[in-house]
Copies of this chain bind each other. A is one copy, B any other.
């Protein structure tokens, strides 16, 4: 098996995991079979579609290579029928999801850097590649995106994308260092899950009452 075959398989595994997370959310919302498959597709490929539009790689890989759509659709359809068994695999799914996050972060950041996007922008695009599908999944199922609420998720991706950009800037973007960046994302995410780490939330006081009636604004 060559390196590029290994990379493709890893990429498709990430697609499958994210499709499963989207399909599970859609099943919980009582969407129909098409809705489950569609949300799975968006969760798996939405981040990459945004990345490809932003770096002008058109048509996006999700449309240009049939294996991506096929992996997403097949997995989502399988979840539609097998989801009761899947519920018991919750921990496994979370760990696989962390692996998908790690992989999409590294490949997304690298693709943006290769397309001549400057480092700061490439880090944002890399992070969006990894979290974009989850954002789309939550918007389609009527939720405020979970990634914005409680968890160390996007921050793990951002840390990894910064590491990739630094390695790339130093001319050290070989297989081993990039694998280390992926391990960093995966490790941060898994430890955050295990220890229930969460980003801070701002303190809020109750809004002061402004007297009765609408009144002018100022």
**Interfacial residues, chain A to chain B (CB-CB below 8 A):** 26-36, 38-39, 41, 49, 53-56, 58-60, 62-66, 69-70, 80-81, 83-84, 87, 91, 94, 112, 115-122, 124-125, 135, 139-145, 147-151, 154-155, 193-194, 196, 198-205, 207, 214, 216-218
- In the A-B complex, the 10 residue pairs with the smallest Cβ-Cβ separation, listed nearest first, are A63-B121, A35-B148, A66-B120, A32-B199, A56-B58, A91-B218, A142-B144, A33-B199, A59-B117, A27-B202
**B199/A122 in contact, CB under 8 A:** no
Partner of A202, one of B65, B66, B80, B151: B80
In the assembled complex, the Cα of A34 lies from the Cα of B145 at a distance in Å of 12
Chain B positions within 8 Å of A54 at CB level: 49, 53, 58-60, 63
Given contacts A32-B149, A66-B118, whether A217 and B60 have CB atoms under 8 Å apart is no
Contact flag A34-B155 (CB < 8 Å), given A53-B53, A59-B54:
yes
Is A121 within 8 A of B58, CB to CB? Answer: no
Do A33 and B141 touch (CB < 8 A)? no
Q: How far is the CB of A197 from chain B (nearest CB, A)?
A: 11
Q: Are A217 and B200 in contact (CB under 8 A)?
A: no
Cβ of A200 and Cβ of B32 under 8 Å apart?
Answer: yes
Q: Are A32 and B117 in contact (CB under 8 A)?
A: no
B residues less than 8 Å from A36 (CB atoms):
202
Contact between A193 and B205, CB atoms less than 8 A apart = no
Whole-angstrom distance between the alpha carbons of A32 and B192 in the complex? 15
Contact yes or no, A121 B59, CB < 8 A: yes
In the bound complex, CA of A124 to CA of B59 (Å): 12
A121 pairs with B69, CB closer than 8 A: yes
Report the nearest B residue to A95, measured CB to CB: B218
Cα(A75)–Cα(B176), bound, Å? 37
Asked whether, in the complex, the Cβ of A94 is within 8 Å of the Cβ of B217, the reply is yes
| Neighbouring B residues of A49 by C-beta, 8 Å | 54
